[in-house]
Amino acid sequence: MIYGRFLGSVLALLATSCGRSEKEVSSPSGSSSTKVPVVAVAQVTRENLRREIVFDAEFRPSQDVELHARVAGFVKQIGVDIGDRVTEGQVIAETEIPEFEEEVQRAFAVKSRADADLRKAGEDIKKAASEVTRLGAALKRAEVAHAETGKTYQRLLSVSAVKPGLVAQQELDLSEAREQTAAATVDEAHAAEVSSRAGMAAAEAGAHAAEQSVLIAQSDVARLEAKRLLMRITAPFNGIITKRFADVGDSIRGGLSPSAPAIPLVRLVATDKLRLAFAVSSSHVTNVKVGTPILIYVPNLDRELSGTISRVAGEIDQATRSMEAQAEVPNNDGSLLPGMYANVRLILDQRDNVLTVPLTALSRGTPRTVTLVSDKGVLEERIVKLGLETAMAAEIVSGIGENDLVVLGSRSQLQSGQSVETKIVQALKTK
């Protein structure tokens, strides 16, 4: 891991600095020698610096559900086991209910009878309508005949009144009798027509009742068919079966059982995309927003990923004084597993291609200084202006230049103007 290499480099630098040696240099006369100390130095280089926070994180499934039977019964078949991949809509298991099929057959039988009654009611309506039509026509004929006989009788009465004796009384009586007979025929035809209309209404009422019976029977059949569908448990999304809780023949409660909690059949998780959840301390919640870029390191796979924060809780937990944040991480190859741990690095600030020195080259006082080794091997203390500081290095804004050599580690035994021998230590990599 990168942070482990950083720590190793720091320890190596401190060990080299603290363990510097001295080299004897002969004087020109050869009669005496001067001990010149050897110091560890680093070259001022340009690097990309970033200041970041590291959080512990855990991968979670994007969807995680325990599938239950929706109606009570017995497990008829279960076609999946732990580790099986399933697709949305795939049948996971089927249940059966004692005497359910008999109930279905009864419902279909009732529906068949209701359908037959509705057909018969339709035929009755047709017959009643035909009878209404026939008797209506008979009534019209009777009314026409009555009108004609009535006119004939009235004409005879008029002639007899103007010229008495011209029309025989027998003829008048016969015409009157015919008119009365026609009127009686009209009354009978009208009564028959009214009766046929009543029969039509009764047939229509019977048809309506038959329609209601059909609807009720259809409703019962549809209810049982829907119940049959509920006896099939299907996958609501693509995923992996991670647990199995039931076997064929097990008695199970319905998922909405009010008396006792139902036992699930299987647990299904979606792993094609995972949620990386981590707790952000309250001191850093202002730096975490949806869309904030993050770096992810997975120790189990020794892999680095990049991503962005997908969602934040928006509330600080009073018990932990932290807020949960999540990032969605694609997992098309399935290499990431729910429950794996990861480190999330949140970049707070970043400087690219800036002059940098290791923190071990900086003094702790104010102003901040470094000890520079000149081209002639002479020590010189320089005041520097710093920019961004990270856990391992600092940005140099002014005071020294690129490729200058700065002393690492403790400088308590060194003085400005002192001659030294240098041992260049590989500069720290900030990435």
Residue finishing a domain among 290, 321, 349 = 349
pLDDT of residue 410: 86
pLDDT of residue 19: 40
pLDDT for residue 7 is more than 70:
no
pLDDT of residue 9: 47
Banded pLDDT at 18 (limits 50, 70, 90): very low
Task: Print the domain residue range for 91.
Answer: 69-97+231-252
pLDDT of residue 258: 56
Would 261 be classed as within a structural domain?
Answer: no
pLDDT of residue 106: 87
CATH of the domain at 398: 2.40.420.20
Residues in the chain: 431
Question: Does residue 129 share a domain with residue 224?
Answer: yes
pLDDT of residue 390: 86
In the chain, what's the furthest Cα-to-Cα distance?
194
pLDDT for residue 417 is more than 70:
yes
Are 372 and 382 within 8 A, CB to CB? yes
Q: Which of 374, 394, 373 is nearest to 384 (CA)?
A: 394
CATH of the domain at 90: 2.40.50.100
CATH of the domain at 338: 2.40.30.170
Would 262 be classed as within a structural domain?
Answer: no
Say which DSSP state 219 is in: H
pLDDT of residue 35: 79
pLDDT of residue 279: 95
Judge if the upstream peptide bond of residue 367 is cis by omega within 30 degrees of 0: yes
pLDDT of residue 259: 59
CA 269 to chain CA centroid, Å, is 12
Would 282 be classed as within a structural domain?
Answer: yes
pLDDT for residue 429 is more than 80:
no
pLDDT for residue 34 is more than 70:
no
pLDDT of residue 277: 96
Would 301 be classed as within a structural domain?
Answer: yes
- What's the rounded mean pLDDT across residues 27-33? 45
Question: Does residue 216 share a domain with residue 105?
Answer: yes
Question: Does residue 127 share a domain with residue 213?
Answer: yes
pLDDT of residue 193: 87
Least confident stretch, 1-5, 137-141, 281-285? 1-5
CA–CA distances in Å: residue 120 to residues 133, 156, 206, 209, 321: 20, 54, 9, 12, 77
Question: Does residue 119 share a domain with residue 27?
Answer: no
In sequence order, the 6+-apart residues with CB closer than 8 A to the CB of 175 are 149, 152, 153, 156
Tell me whether strands 251-252 and 73-78 are parallel, antiparallel or unpaired: antiparallel
Question: Does residue 163 share a domain with residue 117?
Answer: yes
Are 288 and 274 within 8 A, CB to CB? no
The residue ranking higher by pLDDT, 238 or 72, is 238
Would 257 be classed as within a structural domain?
Answer: no
Would 265 be classed as within a structural domain?
Answer: no
Question: Does residue 221 share a domain with residue 138?
Answer: yes
Question: Does residue 224 share a domain with residue 137?
Answer: yes
Tally of domains in the chain: 4
Question: Does residue 365 share a domain with residue 218?
Answer: no
Question: Does residue 314 share a domain with residue 420?
Answer: no
Are 99 and 377 within 8 A, CB to CB? no
Strands (DSSP E) found in 235-378: 239-244, 251-252, 266-281, 293-298, 303-308, 311-312, 322-330, 341-358, 369-373
